Amino acid sequence: MNVESTTDRRRFFKLVSASAAGIALLATLPRRAWAALPHLSIENSPTAKSLHYVEDDTKAVAPHQPGQDCAACVHYQGKPGDEYGPCAIFPGFDVKAKGWCAAFQKKA
């Protein structure tokens, strides 16, 4: 066995090890990093229907008040500026930041 084949073999195993470590790291990322969740609507969630969820808070029913949108709610987990984000009330769905539902609680 010559020195060149030993070097190539070591390089190959380093590459395989690094690739396996990278794949393992990617697998630990939250699901949100891979793809967005489906958008919530009253058609795909009975909870959304019962809590009078709307994607446009200006079309919300009482007890809605101006300024009460999902982005201002304690349950909203999206980042500032995101159009949609996850909500603790509706796991498995993204809600619209400008939406509203009857579970609204203002952030402190």
As given in the structure block, the two tokens for residue 105 are: 């609680």
Distances from the Cα of 23 to the Cαs of 9, 10, 19, in angstroms? 21, 20, 6
Q: Which of 37, 66, 70 is nearest to 54 (CA)?
A: 70
CA atoms within 13 A on the CB side of 87: 30
Q: How confident is the model at residue 65 (pLDDT cuts 50, 70, 90)?
A: very high
Task: Give the tens place of pLDDT for each residue, 25-63.
Answer: 555 655 445 467 999 999 999 999 999 999 999 999 989
Domain 36-108 annotated CATH 4.10.490.10: yes
Q: How far apart are alpha carbons 28 and 56 in whole angstroms?
A: 34
Global pTM exceeds 0.85: no
> Is residue 81's pLDDT more than 90?
yes
φ, ψ at 85 (rounded to 5°): -165, 165
Q: How far apart are alpha carbons 3 and 16 in whole angstroms?
A: 20
